Amino acid sequence: MAMADIARTAAVAEVAAPVLRVTDLQVAFQTPHGRVSAVNGVSYEIRPGETVGILGESGSGKSVSVGAIMGLLDSPPAEIGGHVYFRDTDLLNAPPAETRRIRGDRVSMVFQDAVTALNPGLTVGYQISEMYRVHRPGTSKRDALNKAVALMDQVKIPSARQRVRSYPYEFSGGMSQRIMIAMAIALAPDVLIADEPTTALDVTVQAQIMQLLTELREQTGMALILITHDIGVVAETADRVMVMYGGRVMESGPTAEVVARPAHPYTIGLMNSVPRAEMKHEKLRTIEGAPPVLTAMPSGCPFHPRCAKRQPECSRDRPSLQSVALGRESACHFAAEVLGA
């Protein structure tokens, strides 16, 4: 894969082999209206200690792509293709017993809405300690519960010892998210996937949760895949970013460079729609139109109906992901011009 080659020569120091490699991931769903493609040819890799941001609006395929990695999509209706290597194991094609041991243990995930992602009928202590009971057979109930308390301390839940026997509804949204994070990091995973971890939370709490995730990554050296629609969050935390639209990668590269000089009109649109301090009296520009519906994907470049720079060929030919600079790729016919502008 081209992207993998370029990543290898990227400015990021090559200290370790990639811990997770996604190659040509495809996800489609069978619906009464026929087969709809949700993720198309997504490839990337991530190294220990690295943070990769996957940026996109709802419907861009960003969540489905990690759902496939975590084995959360039922087939049918989902049809999944490509490979996801965790070290040497292909998570998409290995026997279920093997992948189940990796999921939750080596690769774990924090969900968007912790309030619905926690089991309302079980105590948080049970749910956290279950990680040890399931993945480390032989751990005693008492040990597991003590470890749960330690984890709750680690994610900064006050008076953890007392609250370990509480039920999820007794926690606020932010605290619930901390519990989800505690479960996800319980077994010191190599890869943590955070799917919109702050979307359901208040702004002040959002910052705390992001800080917690960053700290934990620094402490443990795990790789972090951060899925978000918020380019600000990506800019602050991710080493590299991948911008998705209509199930395809539009642009990827080191975050600092992408933010400074986007190579795709969609990325520019995303950045212009974020309010910034230096903008002062400038009008906030949103991208016109709405993201495409899966059942009615535009021909050619999926972004062309909303693109300010579209040309006739944009609706005819679908641009492929091309290298545009060192470690950077863009799927735009006019990437060079966009980058140069």
Partner 1 sequence: MISAITGGYFARRLLTSIIMLVLVMSVVFFADRQIGDPARMVLGTTATEDDVRELRERMGLEDPMWVQYQRFIVGMASGDMGDTFRYGISKPLNHGEIPDSRKTLPIAMDRLPPTLLLGGATILFSVIVALPLGIYAAVRPRTFGDRMVNVLSLAGVSIVEYWFALILILLFAVQLDWLPTSGYGTAAHVVLPALALSLRPIGRITQIARSSMLDELAKPYITAARGRGIPLRKIASVHALKNAAIPIVTTIGDETINVVTGVIIIETVFGWPGIGALTVEALAIRDVPLIEATIFLLVLMVLAINLIVDLIYTVLNPRVRFGA
Partner 2 sequence: MTAETDTATEVVEERQARVTSRDLLVALARDPVVLLAVVFLVTLVFAATFAGWITPYDPLTPNIFAGRAPPLSTVSGLGGVEQFHLLGTDALGRDMLTRLLFGARASLAVGFVAVAVSGIAGTTLGLLAGFYGGRVETVIMRAVDAFMAVPSLLIALFVLFLIGGGLINMVLILAFVRWVVYARLARGITLSYRQSSFVEAARSIGASDMRIIFRHILPNMMSPLLVLATLEIALLILAEAGLSFLGFGLQPPEPSWGLMIARGREYLREAWWMITFPGLAIFLTTLSLNLLANWLRTITDPVQRWRWLI
Phi, psi of 31 (to 5 degrees): -125, 170
Binding span for partner 2 by CB under 8 A among 27-35, 138-146, 148-156, 237-245? 27-35
Contact track, partner 2, 105-144, x by CB under 8 A: ------x---------------------------------
Q: Quote the CA–CA distance of 267 and 271 in Å, as a whole number.
A: 6
Asked if 118 interacts with partner 1 (CB under 8 A), we say yes
Phi, psi of 47 (to 5 degrees): -105, 160
Kindly tell me which residue out of 57, 79, 105, 236 binds partner 1, with binding defined by CB under 8 A: 105
Kindly tell me which residue out of 1, 36, 134, 187 binds partner 2, with binding defined by CB under 8 A: 36
Lookup: tokens for 49: 């200690």
Q: Quote the CA–CA distance of 338 and 290 in Å, as a whole number.
A: 22
**Crossing angle of the two packed helices 173-185 and 141-154, in degrees rounded to 10:** 120
Among the listed residues 172, 186, 59, the one whose alpha carbon sits nearest the alpha carbon of residue 125: 186
Q: Quote the CA–CA distance of 303 and 283 in Å, as a whole number.
A: 23
Smallest separation, CB 165 to partner 2 (Å): 28
DSSP code, position 210: H
Asked if 297 interacts with partner 2 (CB under 8 A), we say no
Asked if 179 interacts with partner 1 (CB under 8 A), we say no
Smallest separation, CB 231 to partner 1 (Å): 26
Smallest separation, CB 58 to partner 2 (Å): 4
Q: Which is nearer to partner 1, 70 or 331 (CB)?
A: 70
Asked if 221 interacts with partner 2 (CB under 8 A), we say no
Among the listed residues 337, 330, 339, 334, the one whose alpha carbon sits nearest the alpha carbon of residue 310: 334
What sign does the dihedral 73-75-76-82 (CA atoms) show? positive
Asked if 290 interacts with partner 2 (CB under 8 A), we say no
Asked if 27 interacts with partner 1 (CB under 8 A), we say no
Lookup: tokens for 287: 């991208």
Between β-strands 34-46 and 20-31, what pairing exists: parallel, antiparallel or unpaired?
Answer: antiparallel
Smallest separation, CB 283 to partner 2 (Å): 29
Asked if 13 interacts with partner 1 (CB under 8 A), we say no
CB of 106 closer than 8 Å to CB of 86: yes
Binding span for partner 2 by CB under 8 A among 33-41, 127-135, 181-189, 209-217? 33-41
Q: Quote the CA–CA distance of 233 and 238 in Å, as a whole number.
A: 8
> Residues interacting with partner 2, by CB under 8 A?
29, 31-33, 36, 38, 58-59, 61, 63-64, 67, 72-73, 77-78, 111, 195, 293-295
> Residues interacting with partner 1, by CB under 8 A?
70-72, 100-105, 108-109, 111, 113, 116-122, 130-131, 134-135, 167, 169, 180, 183-184
